[in-house]
Structure 1
Amino acid sequence: MAEPRKKKTIHDYYKVQKELGKGTFAIVNLATRVADDQDVAIKVIDKRKCKDTAALRNEVSCLKACQHRNIIRLHELFESKSKVYLVMELVKGGELFDRIVKLGKYSEADARGLFYNLADAIGYLHERSIVHRDLKPENLLVAEESNVDVKLADFGLSIVVDDGETLFTCAGTPGYVAPEVLAHHGYGKEVDIWALGVILYILLVGFPPFYDQDMSALFKKIMRGDYSMPSPHWDCISDDAKDLIKKILVVNPKDRLDIAGIMNHPWLSEELPSLHLESTLSELKKYNARRKFRAGVMAVMAANRFKVALESIKDDVEKFKTGLGI
């Protein structure tokens, strides 16, 4: 009698090489596709540990909807009783900010090229009613070590929203989170625009617009839009770049530039100097070291600190709402 045909699994199509990283309920492995020897990254999600199945469904649906050169690609999906396997495009260049530091030479024009690609990717998401909600350096990757083609990754907090739908879940990363998220005011796609402004600021001078070791103080600065462009770091940055940031980092989301406004801003089309931004690379190197150290030390208590900090800014929330006429 013939043997019953065995149902094929992901291991029939991909050979796992090594572990690339590990999270609370997921492991990312380097693997090779058997059919053509193409290297891929496989995110293995343990369904028993992952309690937020809605977030997992959101991540998968968002990735399935995306076919953009600057967004990490989902090749295919496998599922077993206990695990979900996301077969992803492999990016080999590491984090964008680390790659910039290694360039040795970096100009405002380089910063603009990176920002343009990222803004174009966010515009693509917004056209498909997807809000990323967690734009930050750790989620900006580089395709290859030989270039700086940016790839937007990690759609774990992303969500598809209906027209006119307002979100209330507190999501994001301190330093990049928008004021309206902290105020529990309800928010939409504008939170991604705010984060783009923070990232652009860092791309230009190497440090963030909002920073404080005390999270409550940090959140208060964000809700007031309390940032500056100090000398000498900003002295050699163009006026149009400064103008764009000022029009993005606007506390009231209704007055914030949208993607169309960003893409049509003069800074994205004007001729820029090729002056090497030595100070930016120096500051960015320090910022990279600081954020990675803090990420390692504070990872366990981060969620609790976020909640405590939100509780401590209730008076500022009321001032924020009053300022918006709510």
Structure 2
Amino acid sequence: MWREVLQKRVNQIGFHQQYKAIKKIGVGKFTSVYLSEKIENQQLYAVKAFPKKRIYKQEENGKVFFIKKILIYYFKQKELLINEIELLRNLDHQNILHLYEVFVTDNSLYMVLELLQGGSLYQQIKSKHKYQNEEIKYMIRGLLEGVAHMHSKNIMHRDLKPENIMFRCKNQLDLVIGDLGLGTKQNIDKYLYVRCGTPGFVAPEVINITDFNIKYDVACDIFSLGVIFHILFSFLIFLYLLQQLQLIIQRLTGKSPFPGKNYEDILNQNREANIIYQGKEYLKLSLYGFQKKLINLQISIFFQIKKAYDLLKKMLEVNPKLRITAKKALQHEYFNDKQNPSVHEIQIFDQDSPRHSPQILVTKGQNMVIDAQGLFKVRTNEKYKETFYSPSIGKDRKKLQYTKSLQLEDNNEEIYDAYCQKKSNVIMKNLKNIDF
């Protein structure tokens, strides 16, 4: 069976003459992974070793396992390993683990694999590493490209999860999909396993299957990848809330009970000693000028969330026939930065900056600018003809136009404040209507 399945492009002998094991870097029930060096060029690889013969008597927690049970498990692992070799030979993509060579000796089978040194995505998630939106976008795009390549070869992974996704190098975001043991060709008569995968990541059509004669397709991988996207996306929401909290802390700490705007105000408040302790009124005084920061943060996160949320819904679609494909997902507006500004193009308003010189940012490829409050505007010298887009999702997205001009001069700060307050209220109202 071994030679029949592995005869294509397999070096039958000579492993120990070509490779030198340096140290063991991983171990499974029946497999071991070694950091190995190719003697010819000192290149490092990960070598997975699987014994062809084994003593089937093992002990765990003082209890002897039944030989029959271990034999069954051994042959299942052997079957998965052969399946993985067959699939990896059909794949060649930077986001999929690369198989270089396979050796078969009298005692073992050796898979020479790409060495991945960045650890697993699971380890990063477990350590509560918080990724920025652009980092998440880069990682999800890479995974989708790898999955799209698999699907173009009619191969389903069927066990996409953070544990099976590795970083190629430390401190980099290049992800590599590995462990194709449960993978299978989509168009074969009988799957190796029909209902398989890891609970929490399995597509509904796979985990709920009862008739094992019914086939599913590559769409199951998109659902699993959607779950991974959801996990990373939730960290983005957390980061957003953390930023809000930091702004509130900055505004509330070290503040006087007499928050006057000028010397006369402070003097009068001090004389009256009228300190307000009640919640809302106290916060209103303490948060003076804070709303501009908060509003602009709401706007910046809105652009991130809106597109990501739409893609997420399409990837986690319960009906596999309606679920987005990997190819179409890569064409989604979430990965398109040309129309709306990215998070890096939207800066938090600095309340200490002059009122007459708000931060103006030019969007890519458009004759548009964004002011400190995050509103789209067409720039005309020192005045603005404003076009404001209501932040709602889907077909209900409405375009509201204003032709009101505003001269930003030092002598009309009250008008400017009232104008910004009015727009901020509209934005806040619309943001609250987004259903997540």
In 2 relative to 1, CA 168–106 (structure 1 residues): closer, same or farther, beyond 3 Å? closer
- Cα distance in 2 for partners of 1:90, 1:141 equals 10
Amino acid in the other structure paired with 2:312: I
- Which digits, 9 at most, give the CA deviation of each residue in 1:241-289, with x for residues without a partner? 101111111111111111122112111113421399xxxxxxxxxxxxx
- Which digits, 9 at most, give the CA deviation of each residue in 1:22-62, with x for residues without a partner? 11111111110000001100001123463034422220011
In 2 relative to 1, CA 176–34 (structure 1 residues): closer, same or farther, beyond 3 Å? same
- Cα distance in 1 for partners of 2:141, 2:172 equals 16
* Alignment partner, residue 75 of structure 2: 51
Find the partner of 1:188 among 177, 200, 217: 217
SS at match of 1:253: coil
SS at match of 1:243: helix
* Alignment partner, residue 321 of structure 2: 254
* Alignment partner, residue 111 of structure 2: 86
- Cα distance in 2 for partners of 1:40, 1:163 equals 32
Pick 1 or 2: higher relative contact order, CA cutoff 8 A, min separation 6. 1
- Cα distance in 1 for partners of 2:30, 2:112 equals 16
In 2 relative to 1, CA 143–181 (structure 1 residues): closer, same or farther, beyond 3 Å? same
Structure 1 outlier segments of 4+, above 2 Å: 46-50, 52-57, 96-106, 163-168
Structure 1 residue 266 corresponds to structure 2 residue 333: yes
Contact persistence 1:129–1:163 (CA under 8 A): no
Find the partner of 2:149 among 124, 128, 138: 124
Structure 1 residue 64 corresponds to structure 2 residue 89: yes
SS at match of 2:25: strand
Q: CA deviation at 1:84?
A: 1.1
In 2 relative to 1, CA 170–104 (structure 1 residues): closer, same or farther, beyond 3 Å? closer
SS at match of 1:21: strand
- Which digits, 9 at most, give the CA deviation of each residue in 1:201-247, with x for residues without a partner? 1111139xxxxxxxxxxxxxxxxxxxxxxxx9xx7542111011111
Contact persistence 2:165–2:175 (CA under 8 A): yes
In 2 relative to 1, CA 245–182 (structure 1 residues): closer, same or farther, beyond 3 Å? same
SS at match of 2:173: coil
- Cα distance in 2 for partners of 1:81, 1:164 equals 33
* Alignment partner, residue 311 of structure 1: none
In 2 relative to 1, CA 176–113 (structure 1 residues): closer, same or farther, beyond 3 Å? same
* Alignment partner, residue 36 of structure 1: 41
SS at match of 2:216: coil
Contact persistence 1:93–1:142 (CA under 8 A): yes
Amino acid in the other structure paired with 1:25: F
In 2 relative to 1, CA 61–166 (structure 1 residues): closer, same or farther, beyond 3 Å? closer
Structure 1 residue 169 corresponds to structure 2 residue 194: yes
- Cα distance in 1 for partners of 2:311, 2:140 equals 12
In 2 relative to 1, CA 192–257 (structure 1 residues): closer, same or farther, beyond 3 Å? same
The structure having more radius of gyration, on CA atoms, is 2
Cα RMSD for the two superposed structures: 2.8
In 2 relative to 1, CA 168–190 (structure 1 residues): closer, same or farther, beyond 3 Å? farther
Amino acid in the other structure paired with 2:29: T
In 2 relative to 1, CA 8–191 (structure 1 residues): closer, same or farther, beyond 3 Å? closer
- Cα distance in 1 for partners of 2:191, 2:163 equals 26
Q: CA deviation at 1:175?
A: 0.7
Q: CA deviation at 1:21?
A: 0.9
* Alignment partner, residue 141 of structure 1: 166
* Alignment partner, residue 19 of structure 2: 14
Q: CA deviation at 1:97?
A: 4.6
Contact persistence 1:166–1:187 (CA under 8 A): no
* Alignment partner, residue 245 of structure 1: 312
Amino acid in the other structure paired with 2:39: V
- Cα distance in 2 for partners of 1:137, 1:275 equals 30
* Larger CA deviation: 266-275 vs 77-86: 266-275
SS at match of 2:75: coil
- Cα distance in 1 for partners of 2:98, 2:125 equals 23
SS at match of 2:87: helix
Contact persistence 2:138–2:173 (CA under 8 A): no
* Larger CA deviation: 197-206 vs 48-57: 48-57
- Cα distance in 2 for partners of 1:32, 1:90 equals 11
Number of matched pairs = 244
- Cα distance in 1 for partners of 2:189, 2:345 equals 44
Percent identical pairs in the alignment equals 32
* Larger CA deviation: 105-114 vs 147-156: 105-114
